[in-house]
Structure 1
Amino acid sequence: MARKCAISGKGPMSGNNVSHAKNRTKRRFLPNLRTVRVTLEDGTTKKLKIAASELRTLKKDS
């Protein structure tokens, strides 16, 4: 499975490392993914990769 949130679809972003001399090199900003076990309506459980921000939203709603 890719580095992508199963709910929001957040994935890696690209940007620059900037040194003190303002030299720029490419870098990746990876999402803060957590593997969570989710119980579905039919009683089965499934593991999902969810961003930490989405996990906070889910806990707030329930």
Structure 2
Amino acid sequence: MAKCDICGKGVSFGIQVSHSHKRSNRMWKPNIKRVKAVVDGTPKRVYACTRCLRSGKVTRAV
């Protein structure tokens, strides 16, 4: 469920490399918050990443 409803940012995958150079899969999750935002004039709960919150793409409902 780690996906932003505003920009669509989701998990990304990569390889974790240990000191002995043993490789294993890992994932990076975006910083997602469940906030009450104004969508189409009505307050609604959405999942938004903190970059969208900080940049002003989401108008918070009070």
TM-score above 0.5: yes
Q: Which structure has more helix as a fraction of its residues?
A: 1
* Structure 1: stretches of 5+ with no match in the other structure: none
* Structure 2: stretches of 5+ with no match in the other structure: 58-62
Percent identity of the aligned residues? 35
TM-score by length of 2: 0.79
Of residues 40, 53, 59, the one that matches 1:55 is: 53
Instruction: After TM superposition, list the pairs within 5 Å mapping 1:1-62 onto structure 2.
Output: 2-42=1-41, 44-58=42-56
Query: How many pairs align?
Result: 57
Q: Which runs of 4+ in 1 moved over 6 A?
A: none
Q: Pairwise CA RMSD of aligned residues?
A: 1.5
Give, in angstroms, the shift of residue 41 of structure 1: 4.7
